[in-house]
Structure formats: C-alpha cells, structure tokens
C-alpha cells in the first residue's frame, strides 16, 4: 500500500495543491476518487468516514487524516523534508503567502472559474464582475512579485508556490484568462513550475472526467 492516499478529483485545484506536492516530492502515493459532482461529499457516510467539513482534499498518512490544503502542504514539507522553510523568517513568509492565497488568490479565482465553466447555471453578472475585480487585484500583486524573482520566496520553489499554483494550470476555456498575455510574471512562474522534476497537470495527476458545463 502506498505511503500516502489523497482523496481528490481532477477539477479541484485545492486537491491539486496536495497532489502536485506529492508528485514533486516523488513519494509513493495514490489518489482516491471523490465523486464530488454527484454529491459524494454531501453524503453523511462520506462526511463520517472521511471529512466532517465535506471538503476535499483529505490526505491519509498512517493513522493521520488531514484536511485543508495548506495544512497538508505544511505537513508534507515537514514530514518529507522538501519545499519547506529553513528558518522562522521563511516560515512566516510561507504562511503569509498561503494566507493570501486562501484569502484572496485561490479563493476568488476558484469560485470565479466554477461559475464561469463548471456550475450548471452561470454566475449572476454582478457576482462575476465582483469576483473578477478581486481576482484581478490578487493576480496583480502576485504578477508584480513574480516578475522580480523566480519563485515566491526567491530563488527556490516552496509550498507557497504550490499553494498559489493550485488553479493556474487549468485551461483558458475554464476561466477565460490567458496568462501569457494578461500576466507575464505569473505565466513565466507557471512555466518554471512546469519544468520541475515530477510536475504533471491536474488532469494527469487526479482521477475523474474532464468537462465543461452544458448550458
């Protein structure tokens, strides 16, 4: 049995953060498919057996069962000894970017993409405009930072990069952004991440069927 099991599905960028970390660390792991779009995470059996909060991803490692991608990334960095912090100052800097990611970067972009291409009904135009303004604000901060240095903490990649990269490898038709044109700093950074040993995209690393909403 593999060392790590990750409950996930291919559309979840939050699950991809954990899957990408496992892939980049080149450890022995297996995905466990969660049938999110058919309501599996809302069923009481699943909530009891896997995660009371109904959220994906969930990582199993020995008798540990962890949820929240940022918790999983922090745990994996410590346990495996890769992509983590070398000092308290670096630990603060990684946490700063992971909180920014959860507060403003992934959070708004993931919701925007879901309403843009995956939800059965498109998002209300006022809601989409509200979300896009916030996505653009968060992207501008990261784009400026990444135009000046290869990775978020400087010269080497860390779990901060893995966290912010969660939704950045989904294709343009899912969200409408062409980063090479709109955000060259972000685009160059995603290309650098693609060049790391072990890198694979979300649809390659995690199970499930790719689709766009039929409306």
Residues that bind its own copies (CB under 8 A): 53, 66-71, 74-75, 78, 88, 92, 95-96, 98-100, 102-104, 106-107, 124-127, 130, 141
Q: Which residue has the tokens 């992509």?
A: 83
Query: Which is nearer to its own copies, 147 or 180 (by Cβ)?
Result: 147
Helix 13-25 × helix 106-113 angle, to 10°: 120
Query: Which is nearer to its own copies, 5 or 104 (by Cβ)?
Result: 104
Shortest Å, Cβ 200 to its own copies = 25
Query: Which is nearer to its own copies, 96 or 194 (by Cβ)?
Result: 96
Query: Which is nearer to its own copies, 130 or 203 (by Cβ)?
Result: 130
Shortest Å, Cβ 91 to its own copies = 8
Alpha helices by DSSP H, the chain: 13-25, 44-49, 69-80, 88-100, 106-113, 125-147, 159-164, 179-182, 184-194, 202-205
Shortest Å, Cβ 86 to its own copies = 16
Which residues lie below 8 Å from residue 88, measured CB to CB, with a gap of 6+? Answer: none
């Amino acid at each position: 049995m593999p060392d790590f099991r990750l409950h996930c599905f291919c559309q979840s960028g939050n699950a991809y953060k954990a899957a990408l970390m496992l892939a980049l660390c080149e450890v022995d792991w297996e995905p466990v498919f969660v049938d999110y779009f058919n309501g599996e995470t809302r069923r009481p059996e699943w909530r009891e057996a896997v995660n009371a909060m109904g959220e994906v991803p969930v990582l199993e490692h020995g008798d540990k069962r962890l949820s929240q991608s940022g918790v999983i990334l922090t745990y994996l960095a410590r346990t495996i000894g890769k992509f983590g912090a070398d000092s308290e100052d670096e630990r603060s800097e990684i946490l700063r970017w992971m909180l920014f990611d959860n507060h403003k970067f992934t959070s708004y972009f993931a919701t925007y993409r879901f309403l843009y291409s995956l939800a059965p009904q498109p998002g209300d135009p006022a809601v989409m405009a509200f979300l896009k303004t916030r996505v653009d604000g968060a992207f501008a901060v990261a784009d400026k930072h990444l135009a000046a240095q290869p990775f978020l903490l400087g010269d080497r990649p860390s779990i901060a990069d893995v966290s912010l990269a969660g939704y950045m490898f989904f294709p343009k038709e899912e969200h409408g952004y062409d980063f090479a044109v709109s955000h060259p700093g972000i685009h160059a950074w995603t290309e650098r991440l693609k060049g790391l040993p072990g890198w694979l995209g979300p649809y390659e690393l995690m199970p499930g069927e790719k689709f766009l909403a039929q409306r």
